[in-house]
């Protein structure tokens, strides 16, 4: 059964369609959402393996696999391919893939002829619950994640849960980190309460999409409330940036978010905003999605702090989304020493866990 989640943005409103097989509705959706389109370019990756019918003359363009595809060089290459294909601003770009593809293709569409319509066919859990919805498009720089981009809303989003059946375990983990985030935000919509690990996957997707739609409708350009969707992401983006920079650490987005969520809870406790029980609640929610919460080894606090200082929420300070007595909210002006101490707390927790494990194995 197809579920429809509206994203209410006045003349930029659109629908998120979720369910088994909804990608087969793409031609109808394009005809209704982009009636001016006479040509389409599908942007995807070799490994996606999902074919779609746009109902229009279509050229398929593949981009490299992995986070490295989110670069300004790839935006230029895509726009040149759009031009050579005969695409114009009345036509449509279709992104078929996960968050890398929707971020990259969306930014290229926003840039080409100063704004060309695009439709997302989200094929990963991460894209279906988060990346493909809300119109935040962009690419990375060596200095940080998603530092160059645009707000450019899609004309529609199709979340075909049938495509999740072939996801490898690490891609599942990447999406589950975002689902855990939504589970901790404390936002209820007409589609239900917070998503939990026990719900069927279709229901998890719908509830996450509904929460994001609700937040985006209230704050499209991340002036205040939309920053809540960055819960756990300040450290997560820093971890990803370090991994991208050194080329040695293999860390997926949702895995980094899981670590970031627990870090944010520990930081909030250090600042007296929440108690031990609330920290344990974070650990239980994240753990229910089979996500690890240990800080990776070999990280330098100064390097992480440099990346966190460049976070999009920051205004010349260290800014985090933190839990507290009034729920999750943006907190500015966090002292550097508190961040360093919280990172040290996570280091010591990992080491004590490892020591207990070694002792237990030695006793058998």
**Which residues are CB-neighbours of 317 under 8 A, at least 6 positions away?**
309, 332, 333, 334
- Tokens representing 82 are 């759009």
DSSP 8-state class, residue 154: -
Among residues 222, 240, 252, 269, which one is catalytic? 222
Burial of 276 (0-12, 13-18, 19+ CB in 10 A): exposed
Task: Establish whether 24 is a catalytic residue.
Answer: no
23, 70, 176, 233: which is the annotated catalytic residue? Answer: 233
Exactly one of 226, 269, 282, 312 is catalytic; which is it? 226
| 178 belongs to the catalytic site | yes
The DSSP line for 94-153 is EEEESHHHHHHHHHHHHHGGG--EEEEEE-SHHIIIIITSSSEEEEEETTEEEEEEEE--
Which DSSP state fits 295? P
Given 207, 253, 269, 282, the catalytic residue: 253
Q: Is 230 a catalytic residue?
A: yes
Catalytic-labelled residue, pool 178, 220, 240, 255: 178
With H, G, I as helix, E, B as strand and everything else as coil, classify residue 324: coil
Any catalytic annotation for residue 222?
Answer: yes
Report how far apart, in Å, the C-alpha atoms of 191 and of each of 18, 188, 210 are.
Answer: 13, 8, 7
Annotation marks residue 212 as catalytic: yes
- Active-site residue identified among 70, 181, 212, 252: 212
Among 70, 136, 176, 282, the one annotated catalytic: 136
- Up-side HSE of residue 290: CA atoms within 13 Å toward CB? 9
Considering 176, 230, 269, 312, which one is annotated as catalytic? 230
- As given in the structure block, the two tokens for residue 310 are 């460049």
Answer yes or no: 181 catalytic: no
203 in active site: no
| 230 SS3 class | helix
DSSP 10: G
136 given a catalytic annotation: yes
Q: Which of 11, 46, 114, 284 is catalytic?
A: 114
Residues carrying an active site annotation: 114, 136, 178, 212, 222, 226, 230, 233, 237, 253
């Amino acid at each position: 059964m197809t579920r429809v989640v509206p994203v209410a943005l006045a003349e930029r409103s659109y629908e998120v369609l979720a369910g088994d097989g909804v990608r087969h509705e793409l031609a109808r959706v394009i005809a209704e959402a982009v009636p001016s389109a006479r040509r389409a370019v599908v942007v995807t990756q070799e490994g996606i393996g999902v074919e779609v019918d746009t109902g229009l003359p279509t050229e398929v363009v593949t981009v490299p696999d992995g986070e490295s595809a989110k670069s300004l060089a790839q935006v230029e290459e895509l726009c040149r391919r759009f031009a050579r294909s005969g695409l114009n601003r009345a036509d449509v770009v279709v992104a078929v893939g996960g968050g890398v593809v929707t971020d990259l293709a969306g930014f290229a569409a926003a840039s080409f002829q100063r704004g060309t319509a695009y439709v997302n066919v989200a094929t990963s859990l991460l894209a279906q619950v988060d990346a493909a919805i809300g119109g935040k498009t962009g690419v990375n720089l060596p200095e940080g994640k998603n530092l160059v981009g645009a707000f450019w809303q899609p004309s529609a989003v199709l979340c075909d849960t049938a495509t999740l059946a072939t996801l490898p375990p690490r891609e599942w983990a990447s999406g589950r980190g975002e689902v855990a985030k939504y589970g901790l935000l404390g936002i209820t919509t007409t589609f239900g309460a917070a998503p939990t690990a026990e719900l069927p996957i279709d229901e998890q997707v719908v509830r996450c999409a509904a929460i994001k739609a609700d937040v985006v409708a209230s704050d499209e350009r991340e002036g205040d409330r939309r920053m809540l969707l960055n819960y756990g992401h300040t450290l997560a983006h820093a971890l990803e940036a370090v991994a991208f920079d050194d080329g040695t650490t293999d860390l997926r987005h949702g895995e980094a978010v899981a670590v970031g969520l627990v870090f944010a809870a520990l930081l909030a406790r250090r600042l007296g905003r929440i108690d031990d029980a609330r920290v344990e609640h974070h650990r239980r929610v994240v753990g229910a999605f089979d996500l690890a919460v240990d800080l990776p080894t070999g990280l330098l606090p100064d390097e992480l702090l440099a990346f966190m200082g460049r976070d999009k929420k920051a205004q010349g300070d260290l800014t985090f989304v933190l839990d507290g007595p009034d729920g999750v909210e943006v907190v500015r002006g966090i002292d550097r020493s508190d961040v360093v101490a919280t990172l040290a707390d996570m280091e010591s927790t990992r080491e004590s866990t490892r020591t207990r494990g070694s002792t237990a194995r030695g006793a058998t």
